[in-house]
Each structure stands twice: as structure tokens, then as C-alpha cells.
């Protein structure tokens, strides 16, 4: 999979992309990720990418031209590779991000993520370039960069070969519509706090049944909305 991220703060991504699962997935060739500076596509001599909003109001709005120039440039490059591009805009007005949406995006050949900033992006970008708008929650961030990192992490870990154990992705919260069951490891008894006896039994059928019941119990208690 190819992921391109369009941002005015490319250095923000260094730590996230250079550690843990994403780093290993990139090294194994599971995913290629490019962080692209939007300012490189500005025709302003000061590399300006924003302007005052028509009609007045506080703040600045990100301009239409750099986005069109950048997206068309990237699409032209990927067209040569015969990749189908899905343009994603990180926006508080978008659909709430979910495991199901992460799985859908993980099936794409090429995902291009647009990171907004300031008061937002010129509406013509949203209407003419964007295939999918995504929000990671009902709150507002300074920009789309942190949200783009969340989406990238969630998508990459679902790609075949990204995780050391492929079963991990299919046995975690939201993968089956429920929250995950509790986990325990050594020691079995820590200052009187004991691991459930069933997990030490070696009986895999009983363990599987216990985990399923605990998953349902946890979901009912913490996220009853998921049963709807």
C-alpha cells in the first residue's frame, strides 16, 4: 500500500513513522509512506498557503491552489503506477473513524491524506478533490496532522504482514463488534492479586468460552451502545 500525507508540518510525523509497527511495516515493504510539504506547491514567493476568508471573520483559510496543484501532481505520479487513489480529508465535520472504516481504507492501493489547519480548507477542495472526510472524535485539534497519524497507524496495522502475529488484528477490540477480553501475564499471583484460574487450566475450549463471555461483559459495561 502507498500512503501520501499532505501537510504544512512534515516534521511532526518523524517520531510516529520511525517507531514500532509502522517502522517495521515500512522496512518490510508492507507499506510506503511519503510525507509531502504542501508549501512546496505554493506559487507565493513566501510559500504562503492561506489567506483571509471572504465575507470576513477570524483566522485564516487554507487556499485552494496548493491543494489542487499537489493532488494533481501526486495523482499523475500514481497513475503511472496504475494505482487507484482515495483522497481523505481529516476534518471535524467528517464521519467518525472506526475499525470498520480502517479495514475499508486498508483495502485501498493508494491513500492520500490531506491535513487542514487554521480555520479550515477552502470548500472547493472538499467538494472537488476529496473522496472521504474523517473525524477521530467530537473535538477540534490545531490541525489534521495528529488525526492523520491515528488513521495511518490504525490502517497500517491491518495490512497483511504488518503485525508479527497475524491473529492479533482479528482478536482485538472492535474486530468482531465487541471490546476485547481482559489479558494477564506472569506472575500468576502478585501480592494476592491472582490471574483467573481458567487461564491456567490449559483447557483451550474453556479459555475460549471465558474470553468470549468476558468480552461481552466488558462491552455491556463500558460500551453498551455497541449492542445497538
Q: For 161-170, what is the mean pLDDT?
A: 70
The verdict on domain 2-156 having CATH code 3.40.1280.10 is yes
**Torsions phi, psi for 187 (to 5 deg):** -80, 160
Three cell numbers at 42? 505554493
- Residue 151, pLDDT above cutoff 60: yes
Q: Does the pLDDT at position 114 exceed 90?
A: yes
CA atoms within 13 A on the CB side of 36: 23
Position 80 confidence tier, pLDDT thresholds 50, 70, 90: confident
Class level of CATH domain 173-227: mainly alpha
Cis previous bond, 67, omega within 30: no
Instruction: Let me know: does 114 contact 57? Beta carbons within 8 Å.
Output: no
Task: Compute the average pLDDT of residues 66-71.
Answer: 97
Nearest to 67 by CA among 148, 133, 123, 6: 6
Q: Does the pLDDT at position 167 exceed 60?
A: no
φ/ψ (deg, to 5) at 112: -115, 115
Position 174 confidence tier, pLDDT thresholds 50, 70, 90: low
CA distance 203 to 200: 8
**Residue 172's pLDDT band (cuts 50, 70, 90):** low
pLDDT of 81 higher than 90: no
The pLDDT of residue 198 is 97
What's this model's pTM, rounded to 2 decimal places?
0.88
Average pLDDT over residues 46-50: 95
Q: Using one digit for the tens of pLDDT, what is the confidence trace for 29-45? A: 999 999 999 999 999 98
**Element at 3 (helix H, strand E):** strand 2-7
Under 8 Å between Cβ of 146 and 105: no
Please say if the pLDDT value at position 107 is more than 90. yes
- Give the pLDDT band (50/70/90) at residue 82: confident
Q: Which three cell numbers stand for residue 204?
A: 483451550
Give the pLDDT confidence score for residue 119 in this predicted structure: 85
Backbone angles phi, psi at 148, to 5 degrees: -65, -35
Average pLDDT over residues 174-200: 92
Q: Residue 154: CB partners within 8 Å, gap ≥ 6?
A: 97, 99, 102
Going from N- to C-terminal start, the domains of the chain cover 2-156, 173-227
Looking at residue 214, its pLDDT comes to 95
Amino acid at each position: 500500500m502507498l500512503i501520501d500525507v499532505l501537510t504544512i508540518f512534515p516534521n511532526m510525523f518523524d517520531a510516529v513513522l520511525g517507531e514500532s509497527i509502522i517502522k517495521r511495516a515500512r522496512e518490510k515493504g508492507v507499506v510506503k509512506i511519503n510525507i509531502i510539504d504542501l508549501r512546496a506547491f505554493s506559487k507565493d514567493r513566501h510559500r504562503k498557503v492561506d489567506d483571509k476568508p471572504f465575507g470576513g471573520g477570524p483566522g485564516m483559510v487554507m487556499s485552494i491552489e496548493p491543494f489542487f496543484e499537489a493532488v494533481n501532481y501526486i495523482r499523475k505520479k500514481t497513475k503511472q503506477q496504475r494505482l487507484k487513489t482515495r483522497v481523505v480529508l481529516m476534518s471535524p465535520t467528517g464521519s467518525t473513524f472506526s475499525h470498520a472504516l480502517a479495514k475499508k481504507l486498508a483495502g485501498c492501493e493508494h491513500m492520500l491524506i490531506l491535513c487542514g489547519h487554521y480555520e479550515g480548507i477552502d470548500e472547493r477542495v472538499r467538494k472537488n478533490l476529496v473522496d472521504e472526510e474523517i473525524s477521530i472524535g467530537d473535538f477540534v485539534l490545531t490541525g489534521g496532522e495528529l488525526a492523520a497519524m491515528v488513521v495511518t497507524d490504525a490502517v497500517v496495522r491491518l495490512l497483511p504482514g504488518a503485525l508479527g502475529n497475524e491473529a492479533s488484528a482479528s482478536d482485538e477490540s472492535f474486530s468482531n463488534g465487541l471490546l476485547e477480553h481482559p489479558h494477564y501475564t506472569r506472575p500468576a499471583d502478585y501480592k494476592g492479586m491472582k490471574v483467573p484460574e481458567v487461564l491456567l487450566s490449559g483447557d483451550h475450549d474453556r479459555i475460549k468460552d471465558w474470553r468470549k463471555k468476558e468480552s461481552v461483559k466488558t462491552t455491556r459495561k463500558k460500551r453498551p451502545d455497541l449492542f445497538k
